[in-house]
Every structure is written in C-alpha cells, then in structure tokens.
Structure 1
Amino acid sequence: MDRYTKKVIAWDLGKRMTVELVQRTLNKAMESQNYPEAVMLHPDQGSQYTSHEYEETIKNSGMTHSFSRKGYPYHNASLETWHGHLKREWVYQFKYKNFEEAYQSIFWYIEAFYNSKQIHQSLGYLTPNQFEKVSA
C-alpha cells in the first residue's frame, strides 16, 4: 500500500505466508509503479520480510528497508488497519468454496471497490485512484 495515496499497488494471496509470496508481491509492485528512488518499505518483522532473499531484492532495487521494534505494530498502523477493514468488511462476510473463489472475491474488493470507489476523508474525499491521478 502506498501510504501517500492509500492505494493498494500490489497484492497476492497464498495458502501460506512464504518468502516466495512476498517476493512475488514486491515484484508486482515494482513492475506496476514508476516509483521514485527514495522509497521506504516498512513491513512487519515476519520471517518472510527478514529473509536473505527479500533483503537482497530490496537492496538491489535501491529501496530502503525499515522495521518497527518487535511487537510494536503502531508504526505500520495504516496497513494493519487496512487489513482489519478488509477482513471485517469483506472476507468474514463470506464462506468461500475454494481458494480461487476467495482470490476472485478479494480481487474485486481491492481493484473494483477499494482503489476505485472507496473515498477517504484524508484524500479530500477522493478514491485512491483519483488521488493518485491528481497527485501525479
């Protein structure tokens, strides 16, 4: 998630949280954005984000890797809050038959609703997509 525009710029879904999953998501983000050189990536301290492979990708991309203290999620509150909204407002409302159905449902929430229709007071009552366009 881009903290400035509040846009979910890349996401993925897996049956388990693995290094490969977070690498794939990071690669999607890098491919989809013309990001400035001064990008700071601020994940939690999960083993996926502290792995050698992930660290190498960040180092090679020129991004800065930042962490909060262990057990202190407040520095990443916006993303923690967003995940809570996704789960309460969407995921927990359905019983998915299979992984593909869950993936398609979450795809719709992020791409068709959240980025495109969900307005934010902090963005001047614009959606993340609208705010990104006027900020470019």
Structure 2
Amino acid sequence: MVLDAFSRRVIGWALDRNMEDELTLTALRMALAHRSIQPGLVHHSDRGSQYASTDYTDLLKSHGIDIGMSRKANPWDNAACESFMKTLKYEEVLRNEYRDLAEARASIREFLEKS
C-alpha cells in the first residue's frame, strides 16, 4: 500500500497471493493516478526488495519523486505505515474469513475507503 503521510489516507494498494514486483507497482500506479506530483515529493519505504527493484525505482524517478528508505533494521523510520498495517490487520483482516481473494479484495477496499 501507499500511504499519503499528509492526509494519512491510503492512495494506492494491491493485494495478491505473492509479493512480486508487479504488486507494488500496481499500488504505486494507483497512487500516482490519485495525486498530482509536486516538486520535492519523497516516497519513503522500508528496504524491501520490491521497493528497491529497478522497475519500482525507475517509475518513481520517471515522475520526479525522490526516494527515501528506512535505515537498516530500523522499523521506526516507517512507523506511520507500520501502524496503519497493524490497524488493517486487527480491525479488518483478523475479524473476517474470506472465501477467496476476490472477497478479500472487496472487503479490504471497503475498509480502506472508510479509513
């Protein structure tokens, strides 16, 4: 997911059965479609390989977005996103049993739109 630090709203997200690059690229493309890019915008993430991939960083750079990553082994650098993911997990995911991936996506979409 891509969380707008100013509004604290999710502006891009994707859900699938794996964590391949295309998943994060889908979330980033959604975020880019929802926001106009202003000079000085910084995209901050943890050090996951999907965020450090060439495809992901090239997409950020092609939109003039600066890249910032958490320090190694320091989850506090990404605390806002980690906190939101915990809320999503406890208030949505663990309270439901989804029949399939499509139902999970629909339910999580509804949760994110309310948040």
Which bracket does the TM-score occupy, shorter chain normalised? over 0.9
- Number of corresponding residues: 113
Q: Please, what is the CA RMSD of the aligned residues? A: 0.9
Secondary structure, counterpart of 1:66 in structure 2: strand
Secondary structure, counterpart of 1:41 in structure 2: strand
Please show how residues 1-136 of structure 1 align to structure 2 within 5 Å: 1-111=3-113, 113-114=114-115
Secondary structure, counterpart of 1:42 in structure 2: strand
Can you give the 5+ residue segments of structure 2 that lack an aligned partner in the other structure? none
User: What whole-Å deviation, never above 9, does each CA across 1:35-66 have from its counterpart, x for those lacking one?
Assistant: 31211001111110111111111111100000
One-letter amino acid of the counterpart of residue 75, structure 2:
P
2:18 and 2:72 map into 1 onto residues whose CA distance is 21
1:43 and 1:107 map into 2 onto residues whose CA distance is 22
1:4 and 1:110 map into 2 onto residues whose CA distance is 16
- Relative to total residues, which structure has the larger strand share, 1 or 2? 2
2:81 and 2:16 map into 1 onto residues whose CA distance is 18
Secondary structure, counterpart of 1:76 in structure 2: helix
Secondary structure, counterpart of 1:20 in structure 2: helix
Please say which of residues 41-50 and 27-36 is displaced more in the overlay. Answer: 27-36
One-letter amino acid of the counterpart of residue 86, structure 1:
L
Higher RCO structure (Cα 8 Å, ≥6 apart): 1
Question: How many percent of aligned residue pairs carry the same amino acid?
Answer: 33
